[in-house]
Structure 1
Amino acid sequence: MNFDWLSRYLPLLLDGAIQTVSLLVISVSIGFVLAIGLAFARVSGGPIARNLARGYCTFLRGTPLLIQLWLLYYGVGSLLPMIPGIRQSFLWPILREGFFFAAVSFTLNYAAYEAEVLRGALLAVPKGELEAARAAGMGPLLLIRRIWLPRAIRIALPTIAGEVVMQLKATPLAFTVTVMDLYAVAYKVRQDTLLVYEPLLVVTVFYVFLTLLITRVFKGIEGQVPIRR
C-alpha cells in the first residue's frame, strides 16, 4: 500500500468531502420539507392533489437516480442557455454548474422516497390521539404541528436514518455530471498516480465514518424524543 500521495492531494480531498456533505445536507433538508407536503397530500389531500403526489412519487421512485440526473443535466441543462438573457443573469454562475443539477436531482428523488415513509408514519399515528386533539379544539394546522407530524416523525425516525445513509451512498453519482465530490477526487488520484485501491480505501473510510456519525445522531435524537402513549 502506498499513501505517499495523501499529503499532496489532501486539500483536494477536503474540498471533495465538502462537496459530498453539501450535496447530502441540501438534498436531505430541502427534500424532507417537500416530502412533508407530498405525504399530507397523499393522506389528506383532495383527489387531484392525491393523484399528483402519487404520480410524482411513483415516477421518481420507479426510475434510476442516474437517469433522472442525466435528464436534468444533459436535457434541461442544454436548454437553459437558449433562454434569452439567462447567460447575463446573476443566476447563470449557479445554473451552469453540475452541482446545481445534482442537488436538484438528489433533492427531488429523496423527497419521493421520504414522502412514502412519512405517509406510512402519518397513517400509523393512533386515530384516538387525533380525535382527542380535535375534541380539545385544535384546528387543522395546530393539530398537524403539535400532534400529527411530530408523532409521525418519531415513528419514522429509524427509517429516516436509513434513508439518509442511502442518500449519502448515492452522492458519488454526482461525479458523472462534473461535480468534484470525494469520489471524483479519488478518480483523479487514480488517473494521476495509477493507484487503484488506496484512493478508494480513503473514500471508503470517509463514507463509513459519516455513516456511523449519521447513525449516532439519529440514535441521539430518538433518545431525546419522548414516546407518547
Structure 2
Amino acid sequence: MIDLIQLAVPVLLKGLWVTAALTFVSVLIGFNLGLGLALMRLSSNWLLSGFAKYYSTVFRGTPLLVQIFLFYYGLGQLSLIKDNAALWWVISDGSRCAVLALALNTAAYTSEILRGGLMSVPVGLVEAAQACGMSRMLRFRRIEFPLAIRQALPAYGNELILVVKGTSLASTITVLEITGYAKRLMSQTFAIFEIFAIAGVLYLVINLLLIAIIRSMEHFLMRHESSSSQKSTALKSI
C-alpha cells in the first residue's frame, strides 16, 4: 500500500496543477460573463433579458458532460469552425475546450446567483444614491455590487466547489488532470479503489481550502455587522 501511495501521489499531483488551472481560468471567465448576464437579466430591454434568461435555462438544464462532448466532438465537425483559425484553436485542444465548457456552464449559474444578490439590495439605498447625484456606474460600483456580493458569496462558494468537481469530466476528452491521471494509473496498476481514493482526497483538500477562503471572505465582508451587533449587545448590558 505504501509503495502504491509513493507511486500514485507524485503522478496525481501533476494532475492537481492542471485541475487548479482549469478551475481558475474557468471561474475567472465565468464570473465576468455571469455578471454581465445578471445585469442583462435585470435590464429593462426585453431582448437582453430574454437572451440572458434562455442562456441560463439552456446551460443549467443540460448536463455539463453533454456540453463538453458537444463542444469537443460536435463543433469540430462544423466547417465554420474548421475554417476559422481562432475558433479551431479553441476547439481543437481538450484543455481549452474544457475551459470553454466549464466557463460557459458556471456563467449560467453565476448569473442567477448574482441576480439574486443584486435584487436583494434595498431599494432605499439605491434611491438615496440617485438623490445624491451618483451616476449609474458609480452607484453600481460603490453600493449595489458590494452589497450583492455579500448576499451571493455563500451560494457562489458552493458553485466554486461544483466547478472543481466538474473539472473531473475533462478527463473524458483526453485532458490529464487528477481524474485523467487516476485513470491512467488504474490501467497500469489495477488498484482501482486505492488510486481513486487518493484522487478523492486531493479533490477534498482543494474544496476544503476553497471553503476556508470563502468563509474568511464572508467574515471580512461582514466584519462591520458583527462589530455593530457586539456594540449593541454591550449597550444593552449596561
Taking structure 2 as the reference length, what is the TM-score of the superposition?
0.88
Q: Which residue in 2 is equivalent to 1:142?
A: 138
Q: Which residue in 1 is equivalent to 2:161?
A: 165
1:220 aligns with 2:224: no
Amino acid of the structure 2 residue aligned with 1:41:
M
How many Å separate the matches in 1 of 2:88 and 2:166? Answer: 26
Report sequence identity in percent.
37
Amino acid of the structure 2 residue aligned with 1:46:
N
How many Å separate the matches in 1 of 2:122 and 2:33? Answer: 24
In structure 2, the CA distance between the partners of 1:56 and 1:196, relative to structure 1 (3 Å rule), is: same
Q: Which residue in 2 is equivalent to 1:154?
A: 150
1:58 aligns with 2:57: yes
1:57-136 alignment to 2 at 5 Å? 57-79=56-78, 83-84=82-83, 86=85, 95-136=91-132
Q: Of 197, 201, 219, which aligns to 2:197?
A: 201
Amino acid of the structure 1 residue aligned with 2:11:
L
Amino acid of the structure 2 residue aligned with 1:161:
G
Amino acid of the structure 2 residue aligned with 1:189:
L
Gaps of 5+ in 2: 229-238
- The alignment of Structure 1 onto Structure 2 pairs a total of residues equal to 225
CA RMSD across the alignment? 2.1
Shift of 1:166: 1.2
Maintained 8 Å contact 2:81/2:88: no
Amino acid of the structure 2 residue aligned with 1:222:
E
Q: Which residue in 2 is equivalent to 1:37?
A: 36
Maintained 8 Å contact 2:72/2:97: yes
Maintained 8 Å contact 2:90/2:97: no
Maintained 8 Å contact 1:69/1:105: yes
Gaps of 5+ in 1: none
How many Å separate the matches in 2 of 1:69 and 1:127? Answer: 40
Taking structure 1 as the reference length, what is the TM-score of the superposition?
0.91
How many Å separate the matches in 1 of 2:81 and 2:171? Answer: 25
Q: Judging by fraction of residues, say which structure has more helix.
A: 2
Q: Which residue in 2 is equivalent to 1:174?
A: 170
Q: Which residue in 1 is equivalent to 2:234?
A: none
Shift of 1:210: 0.9
Larger radius of gyration: 2
How many Å separate the matches in 1 of 2:83 and 2:53? Answer: 35
Maintained 8 Å contact 1:3/1:198: no
